[in-house]
Amino acid sequence: DQLPSPRSNGIMAESEDEVVKEEASAEEEIAAATIKDEDPESAAKAPEYQIWSLCDLGVTYRTVGEIDIAGQKFRAALAIDPTSVRTLSHYACFLHTACVDYRAATEMYERALEIDSYHILTLCCYADMLSARSNPMRDDVRSDAMVVLAQSKAATDSQRASVTFAQRNIQAARRRERDAVNAREDYKAKVEEDYIAYNLAKNSKGKKGKKGKKGGKSRPSTKGSAK
């Protein structure tokens, strides 16, 4: 179970956007109705299907930039089942990436891990958030521990792919942070070097000027003084 990636161009035409919204709305409306026509076993799973549908709609609306509607879908899914780890994890990721609400996201991640401490998607997404530079509750040690745990528990190709993605994302973010720190240090050192060189040149020029003035003074003439 992985979060779907946004479209490569990051922009969706208005007409296509409307189609997606209409399809999503239609999917939500007929989700329960179609189950009624199936066998009793499927009908018994109607709430589960509805939760999955609402959660997927939340992801879809998030992808097309409808943040308010996406939040409504996630909350509607949790209203049906507050213990759905899948929904909690997707909603936490939404709160982190779309709303930049680290505290609310942390609450959702923690609730998910209380229910399933080995849920791969939750571990990977939570680890990524904990390593975020802008996160006031940043915890690199715990982030690394979560990735190690997820790696040890990943049993499917999809789960292993989630772990690999999280590792690469975290490593890339930390590398960019180190590069930024090194760049600032290099710039600071260069400024200090230039300042020292400027002062040395200034002092050297001042000494030469004083020496020149001193050597250029004429001695009093003694010619004609002896008689």
Are the C-beta atoms of 137 and 106 separated by less than 8 Å? yes
User: What does pTM read for this prediction?
Assistant: 0.65
| Encoded tokens for 22 | 């209409």
3-class secondary structure, 129: helix
Q: Which pLDDT score is estimated for 155? A: 96
Q: Which pLDDT score is estimated for 23? A: 46
82: burial class by Cβ within 10 Å (0-12, 13-18, 19+)? Answer: exposed
In whole angstroms, what separates CA 186 from the centre of its chain? 26
Q: How far apart are CA 26 and CA 71, in angstroms?
A: 18
Side-chain half-sphere CA neighbours of 35 within 13 A? 17
Report mean pLDDT in 10-residue bins for the chain, 227 residues.
42 44 46 42 67 95 96 96 96 96 97 97 96 93 97 96 94 88 82 79 68 56 52
Output the 3-class SS for 132-191: CCCCCCCCHHHHHHHHHHHHHHCCCHHHHHHHHHHHHHHHHHHHHHHHHHHHHHHHHHHH
DSSP 55-90: HHHHHHHHHTT-HHHHHHHHHHHHHH-TT-HHHHHH
Q: Which pLDDT score is estimated for 190? A: 83
Q: Which pLDDT score is estimated for 97? A: 94
Q: Which pLDDT score is estimated for 204? A: 76
